[in-house]
C-alpha cells in the first residue's frame, strides 16, 4: 500500500468512530484508537522533521543503522510484535476530536507529498540519528512513516474488536 492509500485508509476508518469509541480504552494500560491515531500523526511529523534535518545537512555521516535498524529495513517493516514505549512521556493524548485527527493526517499527507519529489535528490550520507535504529538518511526516515502506519494497522484492528462498529 502506498503512503497515500495508508493515510486514506486511516481517514476513512476515522469517520466510522463515534467520539466515545475513539476515546474508549479496553484496559487501563492499552491505548484508545484516538491515542493510536495521535501517536501515528506525531511520530510521522517527527520523522518528517528528520527528513528536513537530512535535507539541510552539509556534513556527511558515515555511521549507519543499528542491528535492529538494519533488520527493520531489510524486512521492509516492523515485525508483528507489540512494542511497549516508556510511560508516561510517550502516552498520547486521548482528547483530540475527529476533526483534529483528520487535520493531523492531512498535514502528514501534505508534507509527504511535498518531500516525495525531492527525497531521492538528498545526499544519502546526510543523516539524522534515530534512538533505536541508528543513523538514517532522508529516504529511510520517509519510508519509515509508511512502515509505521502499516505496523499500527494490526493494533487498529485489535482495538476495533472492542467496539460495536456497524
pLDDT per residue, tens digit, the chain (166 aa), is 899 999 999 999 999 999 999 999 988 888 999 999 999 999 999 999 999 999 999 999 999 999 999 999 999 998 776 666 656 556 788 999 999 999 999 999 999 999 999 999 999 999 999 999 999 999 999 999 999 999 999 889 888 988 765 5
Nearest CA to 19 out of 101, 105, 109, 108 is that of 101
Contact 45, 111 (CB under 8 A): yes
Question: Which stretch of DSSP H or E encloses residue 136?
Answer: strand 134-137
- Full-model pTM: 0.92
* 3-state secondary structure (DSSP) of residue 77: coil
All structural domains of the chain:
3-160 (1.20.120.450)
Residue 18 in grid coordinates: 463515534
Read off the C-alpha cell for 111: 508534507
From the number of C-beta atoms within 10 Å of its C-beta (0-12, 13-18, 19+), residue 148 rates as: middle
Amino acid at each position: 500500500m502506498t503512503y497515500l492509500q495508508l493515510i486514506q485508509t486511516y481517514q476513512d476508518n476515522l469517520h466510522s468512530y463515534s467520539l466515545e469509541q475513539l476515546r474508549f480504552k479496553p484496559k487501563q494500560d492499552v491505548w484508545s484508537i484516538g491515542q493510536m491515531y495521535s501517536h501515528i500523526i506525531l511520530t510521522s511529523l517527527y520523522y518528517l522533521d528528520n527528513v528536513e534535518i537530512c535535507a539541510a545537512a552539509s556534513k556527511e555521516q558515515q555511521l549507519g543503522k543499528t542491528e535492529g535498524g538494519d533488520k527493520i529495513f531489510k524486512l521492509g517493516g516492523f515485525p508483528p510484535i507489540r512494542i511497549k514505549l516508556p510511560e508516561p512521556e510517550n502516552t498520547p493524548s486521548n482528547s483530540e476530536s475527529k476533526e483534529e485527527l483528520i487535520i493531523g493526517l492531512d498535514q502528514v499527507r501534505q508534507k509527504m507529498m511535498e518531500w516525495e519529489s525531492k527525497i531521492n535528490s538528498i545526499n544519502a550520507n546526510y543523516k539524522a540519528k534515530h534512538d533505536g535504529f541508528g543513523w538514517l538518511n532522508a529516504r529511510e526516515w520517509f519510508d519509515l512513516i509508511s512502515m509505521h502506519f502499516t505496523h499500527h494497522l494490526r493494533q487498529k484492528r485489535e482495538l476495533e474488536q472492542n467496539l460495536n462498529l456497524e
